[in-house]
Amino acid sequence: MLSILTRKFSSPHLLYVGMGEMGYHISGTLSKKFPVTVWNRTFDKAQKHANEFKTTALTGPDPFAHDISHIDVIFSCLPTSNEVSLFADKLIASKSAKKSNLVWVDNTSGVPATSKDIAKRLEQHNIGFLDAPISGGRAGAIKGQLAVMVGGPAKYFQLVEQVLQPLAKSLIHIDEKVGSGHAVKGYNNLLYACNILLAMKTAQSLEANGVNVDKALRTIMAASGGSNSMSRVHQYATNNRTIDYNFKTNLLIKDMDIGLSMFDNQDKDPVFAVFKEIKKIYNDCAQPNWENSDIFDLYSFIENK
């Protein structure tokens, strides 16, 4: 039900599509506050989620083949905007009755132009769309400490703000334009890729010079050269090269491409050339195991080079 005065759902029911590294834990956190239904291409993960979080798992190849007439907000966290677009088409084609104030919130790190197109198609069926990519990894999703960056009309943001709040240490409605969240996320991950690579190389060079890596990185983290990326590299380097965090290299490369595609003057810009070189290092690292390479594989890949 929708409260007309406050423009927010009074007891929203959520459907979460995509139980990957992020979607699984984001929907788990949401389930502590709201009734959540989940769907995943591989059903086992949806079933596991239902057992762990007392959510409802949908079966089959199409979440919208089920009755979703009670759902107020659809969430998605899929690899790219292409998959989101396919599922938006499935929703449009579905015979299931839909709420009049249905809003789709896309947590995928997507492509701004594709998101604009998805929003346009959904709008023709009175379904709102917001791009709301996230940053903060699995730990941020579990603790509700993600940075959530939202693009799209304020009327939809107002409706779902209460639903996004439990996920976020930072929740910013960037702009009325759909795609502005994805644009910010593209640049964020371009910076992230550079920072991780530089932090890894710093740790390795310090070690090669006989400096205590733990103390050195803790010092830098408290000083001006520190970053969130360095804190992840510190965890990895001081914990027998393990970290409880998964992020596929091919997904980060996709994000770097989204960031790079927004640069003007690409041919003449020397900074653009630096970003491209860094992307090439990630690309070379991922090539032999494209589907499964993780960004922390880069640590060994660049070692002694």
- Contacts of residue 288, defined as CB under 8 A and 6 or more positions apart, other chains included, come to none
151: left (phi over 0), alpha (psi -120 to 50) or beta: beta
Q: Is 55 in the site for ligand NAP (CB under 6 A)?
A: no
Rounded to a whole number of angstroms, the CA Rg of the chain reads 20
Q: Which is nearer to ligand NAP, 9 or 87 (CB)?
A: 87
95 an active-site residue? no
CB of 252 to ligand NAP, least distance (A): 7
Q: Which of 83, 117, 161, 297 binds ligand NAP (CB under 6 A)?
A: 83
CA atoms within 13 A on the CB side of 200: 21
Residue 244 and residue 60: Cα distance in Å, rounded?
A: 31
**Span near ligand NAP by CB under 6 A; candidates 38-46, 94-102, 224-232, 260-268:** 38-46
Q: Residue 153 corresponds to which amino acid? A: P
**Span near ligand NAP by CB under 6 A; candidates 71-79, 202-210, 268-276, 278-286:** 71-79
Q: Is 279 in the site for ligand NAP (CB under 6 A)?
A: no
CA atoms within 13 A on the CB side of 199: 27
CB 15 within 8 A of CB 37: yes
Q: Which is nearer to ligand NAP, 219 or 261 (CB)?
A: 261
Site string for ligand NAP, 195-214 (x = CB under 6 A): --------------------
Q: Which residue has the tokens 């940053």?
A: 135
Residues 11-30 that bind ligand NAP (CB under 6 A): 18-23
Q: Which is nearer to ligand NAP, 9 or 294 (CB)?
A: 294
